[in-house]
Structure 1
Amino acid sequence: MDETTSPRPVAGWFKFAAIASILFMAIGCAGYVIDVTTDPQSLPLDQRNLVLARPVWQVAAYAIAVWVGLIGAVLLLLRKKTAEPLLLVSLVAAVFTFVPLATVPAIRDNVTTNDIAMAVIIILITGTIWSFARHSRQRGWLV
């Protein structure tokens, strides 16, 4: 799209999808805050072991995934092109957040099927949000 032209009119569902994206990322941010402020000693033993086994880079990837994702989702609602690369960063960070489920023995040995299912669902939703941003940019809805 030429920089001198106005953005194309957006689909009627755009605002709904952008708000849903913000809500998803906000839930992730709330989960992160709860996760990092909870005293591991207050958790059941199996959950405590998982928390204590996490590498620092996993917690950092979690922070990047949710906070950058929230910023990207807000920019998506505001129809800014910068939303797309930020949401891609969020997706990559989300993938890294769940890598220890398969690679860190202390985590891998204590992870449940529900944990794996949640990881897959979160990655799929985050990927869908990034794909939505990419589609929106390609359609000329973002400026």
Structure 2
Amino acid sequence: MNGNVKAPWHLWAVGVITLLWNGFGASQWYMQVMKVRSYYADMTLEQVQFIQAQPVWVEIVFGVGVWTGVLGALMLLLRRKLAFNAFVASLIAVLANTVYMQVLTNGRELFGVGTLYAAIAVIVVAAASAAYAHFARSRGIIR
């Protein structure tokens, strides 16, 4: 497919949805890193202490996960094949963050089983984003 071919509707749908999804994650990361008071408003003291005591690498992995997701969505909308690489980086970072929260710490105990369901949803979206970008790249939709 050459660059003059109109992008299919599903490219725009997936691109916009993933941009909104990852943009929400980026806002969560920003509020956590900047210690925005409203971000912590509904948390218990133990939950706030847990988040603020996380190792720096966890904060970095969280940031890499959401910002490479945003980058992947933007690349998808710009029809760039590197969207796949960005989404794969996002997926790897999301998996690392999930292992920390769900396996290596008592995060699930502190935040509840809902965090596990949320983590599964994030992993599914990240994997689906990478899969779609791979599909789009293999079909020449993105170049």
* TM-score with structure 2 setting the length: 0.85
Number of the residue aligned with 1:18: 15
Distance change >3 Å, CA 85–CA 105, structure 1 → 2: closer
CA root-mean-square deviation = 2.1
| 1:118 counterpart letter in structure 2 | A
Task: Report the Cα offset of residue 46 of structure 1.
Answer: 2.6
Number of the residue aligned with 1:28: 25
| 1:52 counterpart letter in structure 2 | Q
| 1:1-143 matched pairs, under 5 angstroms | 6-7=2-3, 9-38=6-35, 43-143=43-143
Contact 2:11 2:76 in 1 (8 A): no
Task: Report the Cα offset of residue 60 of structure 1.
Answer: 0.8
- Uncovered stretches (5+) of structure 1, i.e. residues with no partner: none
- Uncovered stretches (5+) of structure 2, i.e. residues with no partner: none
Q: Distance in 2 between matches of 1:112 and 1:102?
A: 10
Paired residues, number: 139
* TM-score with structure 1 setting the length: 0.85
User: Which whole-Å deviations, capped at 9, do the CAs of 1:52-101 have from their partners, x for residues lacking one?
Assistant: 34222111110101111111110101100111111100110111111112
Of structures 1 and 2, the larger Rg is shown by 1
Distance change >3 Å, CA 25–CA 39, structure 1 → 2: closer
